[in-house]
Amino acid sequence: HVDLGCGDGAYLFALAEQTPQKNFLGTERLLHRVKKACRKADKIDNMRVLRIETSYAVRYLLPAGSVEMFHLLFPDPWEKRRHHQRRIVGLEFLRAIHTALAPEGVLRVVTDHSDYFDKIQEVAARSGDFQIGTNGTEDYPVSTFEEKFKQQGMDIYRLELRKVSPVT
């Protein structure tokens, strides 16, 4: 399992603790967050943290077919239209995710931004590489951002993109 932009590692740590038979990798580019995540990773055997740009890790470091599940929680929505090209989820990113995922692997996306949620669904449908569904919360810990947004009364949107193999 790979947490893309793991922040302080609290969600990843809870997930790794909940599922000790699986291995977990968190990617994060901000040093102060990486240090916090590493302190958590030191307490558990199945969690590692890598300081790296998320899109670079997905495109160039993760071997094809090596990831069972990606977790993308509250990606920056870059709300201004002129900044939309900075959003992480696009066709190229989803192609890289598809390549890194194992057969039947999943990209799990959680956001508080309805417009970005709709755009992610649209791009995923256009790619043709994923079966699109929604997922519940029962199997996953609550992230720091999710807790904060829930307390503010904000809606949370969940999406599960399951890898489908091309028919030959």
pLDDT tens sequence across 106-115: 999 999 989 9
Residue 36, both tokens: 């916090």
76 labelled catalytic = yes
**CB-side exposure of 163: number of CA atoms within 13 Å?**
22
pLDDT at 168 over 60: no
Q: What is the pLDDT of residues 59-80, one digit of tens each?
A: 999 999 999 999 999 887 656 7
Helix extents (H) in 72-143: 91-100, 114-127
- Phi and psi at 49, nearest 5°, equal -130, 140
Q: Which of 96-105, 121-130, 158-167 has the lowest mean pLDDT?
A: 158-167
Q: Which of 46-50, 93-97, 126-130, 131-135 has the lowest mean pLDDT?
A: 131-135
Per-residue CA distances from 138 to 55, 72, 124, 141 (Å)? 28, 17, 24, 8
- pLDDT value of residue 151: 86
Q: Which residues pair with 130 in a beta bridge?
A: 163
Average pLDDT for the chain = 90
Catalytic hit among 3, 8, 76, 155: 76
- pLDDT value of residue 50: 97
Q: Cα–Cα distance between 26 and 7 in angstroms, integer?
A: 8
Reported pTM: 0.90
Q: Cα–Cα distance between 110 and 26 in angstroms, integer?
A: 16
